[in-house]
Structure 1
Amino acid sequence: MRRLLLVVPLFVALCGPWLSASGDTLHGVSYDLGTGWLGTDFAGRDVWQQVLLGGRGLATVTVLATAGAYLLGVLWGLAAATSRRHLADELLMRPLDLLLAVPSLFLLLLLATLFPSGGLVWIVMLIHLPDIARLSRAAALEAAHSPVVEALRLQGESWWRTTVHHVGGSVARTLAADAGTRLTGTLYLAAAASFLGVGVPPDAADWAVMIERNRAGLLLNPWAVLAPALMIIMLSVGLNLSFDRALRKP
């Protein structure tokens, strides 16, 4: 079941644009369930075609923003954990604590206002960066001040080998456990941004935009809202179940 929940929305998101034969073609202006097997949306677009076209952007933002946040956040947290001066640790972590005090949706709207031309990937990545950096620092503190690390420093080993290879390796499982939840959070944050019209054109073929665009006509054609919502829910649950399964001990 978990494989089905993950594979179906991923297949639709990645291969949907190729499966859509006629692109973003308009078919009419009313909800006519005979136009496509999921009917049409408020603008007369084929709902099934919009579902095929609407997942790739959301999946791309989710993967790139999560990967970027981990890349920067882990290095940031490891640098703070291995810092030998309290002042350096404070300078690295206190600005991130201020960002964590701001609700994510408010921060999303604030960043979108400050950087109207900035990509959604960068905005979502910056929102997740403080949390990942704090998690990495907390998980790495014990290993960062262990006798092994001190010995590596005395031997003149590079910062990369000491911090990333040794200390970073000790927190890999903790970060892997966080990755499933983080991907789901990124997915919902990117969907919320698209729903609010941040970083995505209001007429874009996007699952979250479809939900916002068609909610007023829910009773006329429920599939215009339910189909993209089911894709997002299936992808979220499938990601969590897959990561939980991968982290189980044999």
Structure 2
Amino acid sequence: MAVAVARSRRGLKRIVVGRAHSGPRGASRFVLGLLVLGIPLLLALAGPLLAGDAGPRGTSLTPGAGHVLGTDFTGRDVLREVLLGGRSVVTVAVAATALTYAVALPVGFVCALTRRAWLEEVLMRPLDVLLAVPSLLVVLLVATAVRPGPAGLAAVVALVAIPDAARIVRAAGAEAASRPAVEALRMQGEGWARLALGYVGRSVGRTLAADVGVRLTGAVYLVATAAFLGVGVAPDASDWAVMVDRNRTGLSVQPWAAVVPALLIVALTLGGNLLVDAALTRPHRTEKDR
């Protein structure tokens, strides 16, 4: 009887949620997210093919002077640097974010759904130790031992982001796991893996979608900081994040050198959030699970 009531309540809740998110609003948000995200991704993928050869350098941080977006801190054409600078930052940031959740999701869900306290302690306490170490210090410690390339830098950025992400997954998953519906599913013999991929995973979806944007932005700026210190990327590399960091001192005289790459980074994170949020709330998702 209790199982039937739980199923009925769960089904009624999904019907209501499905109706609330049905209609053109979800579709328009999906299209908007796709367009906003598509701009930086298109520039990152096709930009190097359109950049052309480097011309003579001009005066540092100068608007105009034959350059559509002016020059950067080394006198290079900003438009050309924008076309060249997306591939590295997008690749490293996206790879680092993907690696972060490849570890944080299983660890967080296991800790949220397990009833073995010792297992949770074994998984979370080492992450607490890593959480106490500043992320930039970890990057510098790794850089003293090896010289990480883009792949190594992505791995290091993921390493310092895993503790925060795992704790968020654990907290959100634990709240969902305490609901009567989960107890009813446990009584039916559902294991933690199916719960994580099913009811609990859907319940924490919006929280994780919001966190992805934070992780992606944090990865971008940690990569930029590491590049400024000569780790992973050269300090004068054609890279959006490096451009924001190195050209910000000239905002009052030549803002485009920092504003344009910053807007592209914002579009990357905003478009990703819109796209994921729209995908999570599209009507077919809720109707399918009724």
Match of 2:86 in 1: 55
Match of 1:248 in 2: 281
Q: Select which of 148, 151, 167 maps to 1:117.
A: 148
Q: Does 226-235 or 171-180 show the bigger shift? A: 171-180
Q: Does 48-57 or 108-117 show the bigger shift? A: 108-117
Alignment of 1:164-179 (within 5 A): 164-173=193-202, 174-175=204-205, 177-179=207-209
Contact 1:73 1:132 in 2 (8 A): yes
Q: Once the 2 structures are TM-superposed, how far is the Cα of residue 48 of structure 1 from its aligned partner? A: 0.4
Match of 2:123 in 1: 92
CA distance in 1 between counterparts of 2:51 and 2:255 reads 21
CA distance in 2 between counterparts of 1:127 and 1:40 reads 34
Q: Once the 2 structures are TM-superposed, how far is the Cα of residue 120 of structure 1 from its aligned partner? A: 1.5
Alignment of 1:1-250 (within 5 A): 2-22=33-53, 25-31=54-60, 33-113=64-144, 116-117=147-148, 119-141=152-174, 142=177, 146=183, 148-149=185-186, 152=189, 162-173=191-202, 174-175=204-205, 177-197=207-227, 198-248=231-281, 250=283
Contact 2:97 2:215 in 1 (8 A): no
Deviations 1:118-158 (A, max 9, x none): 611111111221223223334444279846446648xxxxx
CA distance in 2 between counterparts of 1:241 and 1:167 reads 23
Q: Classify 1:57/1:189 alpha carbon distance in 2 versus 1 (closer, same or farther; 3 Å).
A: same
Match of 2:12 in 1: none
Q: Which runs of 5+ in 1 are unaligned?
A: 154-161
Bigger relative contact order, structure 1 or 2 (CA pairs below 8 A, ≥6 apart) = 2
TM-score, length of structure 1 as denominator length: 0.79
Contact 2:205 2:280 in 1 (8 A): no
CA distance in 2 between counterparts of 1:164 and 1:133 reads 16
**Paired residue type of 2:212:** R
Q: Once the 2 structures are TM-superposed, how far is the Cα of residue 91 of structure 1 from its aligned partner? A: 1.3
Q: Which runs of 5+ in 2 are unaligned?
A: 1-31, 284-290
CA distance in 2 between counterparts of 1:169 and 1:74 reads 13
Q: Secondary structure at the residue paired with 1:133? A: helix
Q: Once the 2 structures are TM-superposed, how far is the Cα of residue 98 of structure 1 from its aligned partner? A: 2.7
Compute the RMSD of aligned alpha carbons: 3.0
Q: Secondary structure at the residue paired with 1:171? A: helix
Q: Once the 2 structures are TM-superposed, how far is the Cα of residue 4 of structure 1 from its aligned partner? A: 4.0
Deviations 1:82-111 (A, max 9, x none): 545322221111111233344444544455
**Paired residue type of 1:188:** G
**Paired residue type of 1:27:** P
CA distance in 2 between counterparts of 1:138 and 1:219 reads 44
Q: Secondary structure at the residue paired with 1:55? A: helix
CA distance in 1 between counterparts of 2:232 and 2:81 reads 18
CA distance in 2 between counterparts of 1:88 and 1:192 reads 31
Q: Does 86-95 or 187-196 show the bigger shift? A: 187-196
